[in-house]
Amino acid sequence: MIRANVRVNGIVQGVGFRPFIHKQITEYELLGWIRNTSDGAEIELEGTEEHIDCFIADLWTRAPKLAVIESVDFDKFHDLKNYTEFKIIESKSLDHRNTLISPDVCICDDCLAELRDPKNKRFRYPFINCTNCGPRFTIIKDVPYDRPKTTMGVFPMCPECEGEYKTITDRRYHAQPTCCSDCGPHLIWKDEEGSEIRAKDSAEDTVLVRKAQEYLKSGKIVAVKGLGGIHLACGFEDPEVPLKLRRRKHRDEKPFAIMCRDMDVVRRLCEVTPEEEKILTGFRRPIVLMNKKEKGSLLQISENGFVGIMLPYTPLHYLLFDEEGGIDSLVMTSANISDKPIMYRNEEAYEELAGIADGFLLNNRDIHVRCDDSLMWVYRGSEYLARRSRGYVPFPVIMKEELKPILACGAEQKASFCLSKGNYVFPSQHIGDLKNLETLENYEDQIAHFENIFDMKPQALVCDLHPDYMSTEYAQNRADDDSLPLLQVQHHYAHMASCMADNNLNEPVIGVIWDGTGYGTDGTIWGGEFLAGDYSGFQRFGHIDTIRLPGGDRVTKELDRIGISLLKDSGLDWAGRFENAQQIAQVLDMDVNCPKASSMGRLFDGVCAILGIKHKASYEGQGAVLLEAAAEENVTRVYPCEITDGVFTYKLMLQAMLEDLDRGVSAGNCAAAFMNTMVAMALEICAEISGKTGIRKVVLSGGTFQNQYMLSRIMDALEKQSLEPYCHHRVSCSDEGLSLGQLMIANARNL
């Protein structure tokens, strides 16, 4: 007989790890205790050494499905404490914390069955949950993960729920959010007249769900509170309803997401691959961007070939889609105003959404951390993230090496941050564009929250090279206040390093980094870059030729300005192809406020305008999105591809494009030929860099690689050239993912 002290690190809190161990321990004939600690879980055991060794070995393969074990350490002792039982004891806060926290988890099959069972005490209760499902990250205020340290702390358990919580054979054994209609939260309904109803039991909750269903079926807009924030929901079969939501929300053309009752409804709307279905139905429940069943359908939802689809993930969502309600799909879009973060507080919603939402279906369970829906494509069978948020955060990106404690502050658009601790990097959830005070405050609050729950004190800071980003200002002020070293990293180099880290590469690579804009090391604007290097440094080997941007930032909305600039500076016919062309040409002639940018994003915008696909953009990247959507299938031709000393010039390409248009070739055919030309250009420059350096690994990063047409063709072309291409999977290729690259570069610099 011996005694062993076992420490388990990983996602072992909020996933039923302690009750699972309690249930399993009897077959090993062991006694002792288990508790949560700030490090993870600690287990003290007494029994035969053989049984203890078997128990420890089996931990790796027999953990609960939501648990992720990262390490198991143990010590053995020969002095016994003569335990007489095995029990869960009070959690222990240590001087340091090294625990992982579970993301929010969609309702499990067992809870869903109870939700629909008239004989069950939680029948139609909108907050049903258990050890295997429900809110986690968004309700946690502090660790260890115990009820008083969550927003459920204000709801004392009734005797029956407490009995389940304490019964080892029960599915809710030590499930912190355990509640029922007698002791848990309830729904709140408020109509457009300001009349408010607060439910007190499941029957009243059902009445409020029915009110929301009536509103939705009559073409009204309802604000619905979810796990990490509030959605605006409406029907879409009548195109006027989502158009009304667009007008009220001032979101003219940016795509909406759809929540579908089940996969049968999804298949009516979209083409579905087995890999997409697996991710849609998994416990993370992201929005998956999928090919429409009919390319020209659902234009009131999405003007391109993709539509974002998600399945219900809370009990309330399932109640909204019940058979009696007669609803099988709804627009579900984040409730936010003018680029502000998603709303998550009731009073804020009442105030800010007045005049937008006709009704409010909220509740009295507070959200502590706002967290948007995650968004992705499925590429080559794997997740290809556009937005890493609910369901994924705060799970870390795990690296092969130990990292210094660093805070990486990200960029400005699609802002995020990363914290490192050991071999973990913790990327934040989607924050939004750092262009207003509300988003900046959320950004700062989340940094403080992450540092607290992961007990992480940065020893260095890293940020973008751009001097005017709010994230740069935050990093500089924080470095000054805390007397910490600060590194500023070039934007596209950070993108390259991010894709390296995403794929656990720590060797020289070629980086094809294409996006909108980033501040270059030479003080100019970059965006269509070919780099080579590693975490210790990089060299710029090539880029697309610079484009003059008449009016500066105005070009991101007024795409004709770029189209005229491209044609005029190439000596090609521009007159008569655009409205107000002469006025813009005069700005170019005076060369006032005409910064230059080697930007792939701006090249896409300009070509979109030249082809007549879109002249004025209503959201960031719209020109590129519509150019991809317009591209005809099975077009293999390529325009002339002129490259001199690593610089791609576009005169010959544009000249051929104009000739196509003048002889009646469709804009869709030309769009495909243009993107094929970008693929050919990338292949040629990468082959040239590889020949000079001997590097064969190529990483693809930057927002342009959200273009699935480009991504798939460049990956295929590089592979056929016997190069080794890598794209993103664990973080986004957009600016949201580049904080990971910043962090890895800073770690390599020994700050």
Residue 309, pLDDT score: 98
Q: Does residue 199 have a pLDDT over 90?
A: yes
Per the prediction, the chain carries an average pLDDT of 95
Residue 10, pLDDT score: 83
Angle, CA of 97, 102 and 104, to the nearest 5°? 140
Record the tokens describing residue 412, joined without a space: 């400005």
Confidence of residue 493 (pLDDT cuts 50, 70, 90): very high
The CB density around residue 482, as the number of other CB atoms within 10 Å, is 12
H or E, element range at 400: strand 397-403
Residue 95, pLDDT score: 62
What percent of the chain has a predicted confidence (pLDDT) above 90?
A: 87
Q: Which residues are within 8 A (CB) of 243 and not within 5 positions of it... i.e. 6 or more apart? A: 300
Q: Does residue 580 have a pLDDT over 70?
A: yes
In a 13 Å sphere around the CA of 225, the CA atoms on its Cβ side amount to 26
What percent of the chain has a predicted confidence (pLDDT) above 70?
A: 99
Residue 21, pLDDT score: 87
H or E, element range at 629: helix 622-630
b/e per residue, 19-41, with b = 16+ CB within 10 A? bbbbeebeebebbbbbbbbbbbb
Strand partners, 3: 46, 77
Whether 398 and 424 have beta carbons less than 8 Å apart is answered as yes
Q: Does residue 66 have a pLDDT over 80?
A: no
| Residue among 128, 107, 103 at smallest CA distance from 312 | 107
Residue 98, pLDDT score: 65
Q: Does residue 99 have a pLDDT over 90?
A: no
In a 13 Å sphere around the CA of 717, the CA atoms on its Cβ side amount to 21
> How remote is the C-alpha of 210 from its chain's centroid?
32
Q: Which residues are within 8 A (CB) of 417 and not within 5 positions of it... i.e. 6 or more apart? A: 407, 408, 409, 410, 427, 428, 431, 443, 446, 447, 450, 471, 739
| Residue among 12, 9, 18 at smallest CA distance from 173 | 18
Strand partners, 46: 3, 31
Range in 140-149, 255-264, 451-460 the model is least confident about: 140-149
Range in 96-100, 218-222, 293-297 the model is least confident about: 96-100
Q: Does residue 576 have a pLDDT over 90?
A: no
Residue 14, pLDDT score: 64
Strands 196-198 and 187-191: antiparallel
pLDDT in tens, 319-368: 999 988 899 999 999 999 878 899 999 999 999 999 999 999 999 999 99
b/e per residue, 212-235, with b = 16+ CB within 10 A? bbebbeeebbbbbbbbbbbbbbbb
| Residue among 628, 566, 617 at smallest CA distance from 594 | 566
Residue 431's alpha-carbon distances to 100, 428, 439, 458, 618, in angstroms, are 21, 8, 7, 20, 21
Instruction: Determine the average pLDDT of the residues in 127-154.
Output: 93
Instruction: Determine the average pLDDT of the residues in 35-42.
Output: 85
Q: Does residue 13 have a pLDDT over 80?
A: no
Where is pLDDT greater, at 68 or 268? 268
Write the DSSP assignment of 164-175 as a string of letters.
HHH-TTSTTTT-
pLDDT in tens, 640-675: 999 999 999 999 999 999 999 999 999 999 999 999
Residue 372, pLDDT score: 97
Confidence of residue 97 (pLDDT cuts 50, 70, 90): low
Type of residue numbered 612? G
In a 13 Å sphere around the CA of 677, the CA atoms on its Cβ side amount to 27
SS3 at position 489? strand
pLDDT in tens, 375-428: 999 999 999 999 999 999 999 998 989 999 999 999 999 999 999 999 899 999
Q: Does residue 39 have a pLDDT over 80?
A: no
Strands 187-191 and 418-427: unpaired
Angle, CA of 224, 188 and 329, to the nearest 5°? 30
Q: In which order are the strands placed within the sheet that holds 382-387? A: 196-198, 187-191, 359-363, 222-225, 230-234, 329-334, 257-260, 306-310, 287-291, 375-379, 382-387
Instruction: Determine the average pLDDT of the residues in 121-140.
Output: 95
Residue 357, pLDDT score: 98
Sign of the CA dihedral running 260, 262, 267, 270: positive
Please give the model's pTM, rounded to 2 decimal places: 0.93
